[in-house]
Amino acid sequence: MPRPPKQSELIESIYDAGLHPEMWSDVVVMLNAFIGSQACGLISKDPVSKSGATHYYCGVDPHYIQLYAETYARHDPLARLPRYGEVRNIPDLVNFDEYRRGRFYQEWLRPQGCADVANVVLEQSKSPCPMLLTVIPGRDMLDADKRARMQFLVPHASRALLINRAIERKQQRATALADVVDRLTAGVVLLDKACNIVHSNPAAEMLLAADDVLRSVAGRLVARSADANRALRDIFRDAGEVALAAESGRKISLIAQDGSYYVAHVIALPSLLREGAAERTPAVGALFIWRAEFDGRSCADVIDRTFELTPAEFRVLQSIVDVGGVPETAIALGIAETTVKTHLHRVYAKTGVSRQADLVKLVAGFSNPLVH
């Protein structure tokens, strides 16, 4: 049997396992040596179905662990769980003579050369399957010394498990959020202070692969437009600037070689993604990038109500966003360029902008995937 660890060494290891759950396997070995038992484990129990799952253990043949899960968890006298923090062995909960005639003892415990089992519930929460520290003392019953050692471990193991649960919940939320980001049709790029790409979702990877409005140069995000590049460097120099830009709804216009417009919306990186991962990310913010395509079905009513555009003005607005400049719009709509300019100037007056690029950004705000 391993040398019993010192209390200080054991407690330190328990809290280390709270931060790094993979360490529980080694810690359970230390717990077993500290208690002086033949076997020890961390198991979760469902008091309703009486099923049990063994998460970490030592001192038991894996064959018996499998038998317990498949058959004998239902016959375990300790399936009737005590209250949190109460160390209980079999005679505390059931008639010992009846227990010795039962299947759990005759078919599972006795073949291992053991007589008793002790449990202590380690979680105070109303978990449907609370975690327990389970100990098989050996050939003898649980004595006062082993009971006291189990009791000593309760607050430390309990706190470590609480830490495990808190980290697990945070990581699950971060993973879920990251999964949502990766499924978006709009591009999402996480950037550090030097505009290096920390992460890009599949939609952003396609944009970068096109090597048009945006590209990756030695891992650094570079825009086709010099103005857009300056804006990126100014905004992403620190998390504070990103937060201010995001709060003000800052957008960066991007124009492709074919004249189509893209809009990059600055978003503050949620602390969930920034701090929830296993390793802290250097990203200070993100860009949410989509093509400024005018979705008349979803935006027409809102834009009409907001700016009171006539049908002719609305068609010109839609064409400017989807097709391009005045000549292209004149051809697409089959009207004179002077007519397009007339309607466009009225649109400028009603919307309060004076350039086509600003008009595109304005419309993109109404069809912003962040809003819808």
The encoded tokens of residue 130 equal 């609370």
Contact criterion met (CB below 8 Å) for 150 and 121: no
8-state DSSP, 23: G
The predicted structure's pLDDT at residue 148: 95
Q: Which class for 44: exposed (0-12), middle (13-18), buried (19 or more C-beta within 10 A)?
A: middle
| ∠ Cα 34 38 39 (to 5°) | 85
318-342 tens-digit pLDDT = 888 777 788 888 888 889 999 999 9
Round to whole Å and give the CA distance between 194 and 19. 31
Q: What are the structural domains of the chain?
A: 7-173 (3.30.450.80), 186-291 (3.30.450), 296-366 (1.10.10.10)
Strand intervals (E) in 187-242: 187-191, 197-200, 214-217, 220-223
Round to whole Å and give the CA distance between 318 and 164. 53
178-193 tens-digit pLDDT = 665 566 678 889 899 9
In this prediction, the residues of the chain whose per-residue pLDDT falls under 70 are 1-3, 79, 125-126, 172-184, 270-281, 293-302, 304-305, 364-372
